[in-house]
Structure 1
Amino acid sequence: MFELKKSGDKFHFVLKAGNGQVILTSQMYASKASAMNGIESVKKNCGDEKCWETKTAKNGKFHFNLKSTNGQIVGSSQMYKDESGMKNGIASVQKNAPGADVKEVE
């Protein structure tokens, strides 16, 4: 499920897995329409291996970004203690995003 949220005068979204855990968080968008376009970009690009960027933080934890075809980051993960956890996170986005509903929350 995508949750679309308004923060001040900007919008962002999170993608939650079936268990309610946040698996992807977006950047801030100036408009609701832009945030909805970001959600569509996640749905469209999550199956394309070239759109995934995996990283290791200075503290040794792992995280990932999902990019659109133009190279802009549309979503980022939490930090994972190991690489297998990060890979499971990517697999969860790939499984959950394409058919996910969008719910607006306060």
Structure 2
Amino acid sequence: MAGKFELYTDKSGEYRFRLKAGNGEVIATSEGYSSKAGALSGIESVQRNAPGAEVVEV
């Protein structure tokens, strides 16, 4: 099963998303967004930029 993004509203009314792996484990969570459109743009950004993301040890 592929991973999925879950879009939700938090207790303070902000929109957030989390990325879940195929096994249901949360592997990323977003900041809060004031609009649904902003959260959807955040999801699109992760989808666009993550495939080639570099791994850096700090």
TM-score (norm 1): 0.46
| Richer in helix (by share) | 1
Q: CA deviation at 1:47?
A: 1.6
The ranges of structure 1 where at least 4 consecutive aligned residues each deviate by more than 6 angstroms after the TM superposition are none
Identical aligned residues as a percent: 46
Q: Indicate the structure whose relative CO is greater, using CA pairs within 8 Å and at least 6 residues apart.
A: 1
Q: CA deviation at 1:5?
A: 0.8
RMSD over aligned Cα atoms: 1.7
| Richer in strand (by share) | 1
CA 1:29–1:19: 2 relative to 1, 3 Å: same
TM-score (norm 2): 0.80
**Which of 6, 25, 29 matches 2:29?**
25
Question: Could you list the runs of 5+ residues in structure 1 that have no partner in the other structure?
Answer: 56-106
Q: Output aligned runs, 1:1-106, within 5 Å.
A: 1-7=4-10, 8-49=12-53, 55=58
